[in-house]
Amino acid sequence: MKNYTFKLLTVVSVLCLISCQEAKKTETAKQETQQELVEEKVVKSILTAEEQADMTPAEIIGRLKKGNENFVNNNLTQRDHSAQRRKAMIGQFPKAIVLSCVDSRVPVEDVFDLGIGDIFVARVAGNIENADIVGSMEFATAVAGSKVVIVMGHTACGAVKSTIDNVDAKALGMNSLADLINEIKPAVEETESEGDRTSKNDAFTNTVITNNAKRTVKNIREVSPTMAKMEDEGKIMIVSAVYDMESGKVTFNKD
């Protein structure tokens, strides 16, 4: 009887061992397949001249909106930056230029789920235009082939709030900041308010932020006949938008 029990236990142990090994093999194969799927999804290429040429301005805006949806849903594309960096050495064919505020809470590429070689980014507090910014946009569009210009303001913008609250930067020894605030002032002045005209009034502040971005678009068209003509001919689109700090969503304005 003892001998029989021993044999039975041995058989059971061997069977357990075999089934454990099989399960391990299946698990490893599953992990390898998952790893391959993840690898396949990682973007290693960058935009080419042909891809840039094939896209219309409206299609590009559609892709940027989709990218922003990915950002809002915390579902950013994985990128192999080393591979992209190496490919980018041969040139760049970005599809758009985005003018953003300098605010550290607005990570422009991430906001549109983009990476190396995808967009030009110009940044200045309050996303106003000046000769250097417009010059950079002319280069991006007329020289480098980008087809969309986005002026993107953002909620809770410190530059806009300071302008609304009449911060006297000159008195604080910051002459250049005072000049920058002066550039935002017209957007404050043209905005009507149902409540008080301070940055504590969120509705008023948000409307100024939208108007400031729209105003920058208007100014770009005025100071750059080249870009205005390209827009009239349907070669590029110049639009304004506002990034919502809380939700991550970018809302495009109708200019």
- Residues of the shown chain interacting with Zn ion in the complex, contacts defined by CB under 5 A: 101, 103, 157, 159
Query: What amino acid is encoded at 245 in this protein?
Result: M
Residue 199: Cβ within 10 Å count: 19
Residue 241 CB, shortest distance to Zn ion, in Å, is: 14
Residue 127 CB, shortest distance to Zn ion, in Å, is: 7
Give yes or no for a contact between 42 and 84, defined as CB atoms under 8 angstroms apart.
no
Give yes or no for a contact between 150 and 123, defined as CB atoms under 8 angstroms apart.
no
Cβ-based nearer residue to Zn ion, 79 or 154: 154
Give yes or no for a contact between 117 and 169, defined as CB atoms under 8 angstroms apart.
no
Give yes or no for a contact between 96 and 147, defined as CB atoms under 8 angstroms apart.
yes
Cβ-based nearer residue to Zn ion, 129 or 231: 129
Residue 154 CB, shortest distance to Zn ion, in Å, is: 6
With a CB cutoff of 8 Å and minimum separation 6, the contacts of 53 are 145
Cβ-based nearer residue to Zn ion, 93 or 243: 243
Cβ-based nearer residue to Zn ion, 141 or 162: 162
Residues 246 and 133: their CA atoms lie apart, in Å, by: 27
Residue 235: Cβ within 10 Å count: 15
Cβ-based nearer residue to Zn ion, 151 or 159: 159
Residue 151 CB, shortest distance to Zn ion, in Å, is: 12
Cβ-based nearer residue to Zn ion, 101 or 151: 101
Query: What amino acid is encoded at 9 in this protein?
Result: L
Residue 37 CB, shortest distance to Zn ion, in Å, is: 39
CA torsion sign for 44, 103, 69, 139 is negative
For helices 202-223 and 131-138, angle between their N-to-C axes, nearest 10 degrees: 60
Residue 158 CB, shortest distance to Zn ion, in Å, is: 5
Tokens of 101: 């505020």
